[in-house]
Amino acid sequence: MISPKNVKRFARKKEEENYAFRSFLKGYANPKAFDKKVNRLHRELFADYDCSQCRNCCKEFHGSIPAEDVEQDAKYLKMDVEEFKRRFLEQDKHDEGFVTRHKPCDFLQPDGNCLLGERRPRSCKEYPYTNKRDRIGSLLSMLENAEVCPVIYEIIERLKQDPDYEAFDEDFVEEFRDMTRQFR
């Protein structure tokens, strides 16, 4: 598996190929079968992966804290709600919840663990969402997150080698390049 410090660089090198693969999948992949493949790879790769040794997601994204969790999170850290908000959070501009003030996430500890422990937000626990349904519908976010998460990067690389997708080859990539040149 690619190292966390190299994943962004390698993913950017593969960006055009990956966008061609996305285009291929949108046209040719069976969504249910694709979900099964991604879910199988998710289970296989995360079985042996220690996210605390990476935490690129915590370094690259703001943590998202639902409004209904703030009181319990503050209590968990033995803080009053206002102090908790002042120290760690700001209002999310997109919904009623909160986001961490800084990147890396304010709750990321030097050892790679979360200050909130098992109280960490559901969005953090579930990242990178590769075990969810409708992965065909979220291929764009998977490609974007391949720059952050070594496991997503590996899932995409393995999918490109899957015999069910053997029609995805250099000819397809070249056709994709030709087609997209007109839009640059």
Cα(138)–Cα(92) distance, rounded to whole angstroms?
22
pTM of the model: 0.88
Q: For residue 182, what pLDDT is reported?
A: 66
Stretches in the chain below the pLDDT threshold 70:
182-184
Q: Where are the domains of the chain?
A: 7-56+131-181, 61-126
- Give residue-wise pLDDT tens across range 25-47: 998 889 999 999 999 999 999 99
Q: For residue 116, what pLDDT is reported?
A: 96
Q: For residue 171, what pLDDT is reported?
A: 81
Q: How do strand 89-91 and strand 98-100 relate by DSSP bridges?
A: antiparallel
Helices (H), the chain: 7-13, 15-28, 31-47, 56-60, 70-76, 81-88, 122-126, 139-145, 150-160, 170-181
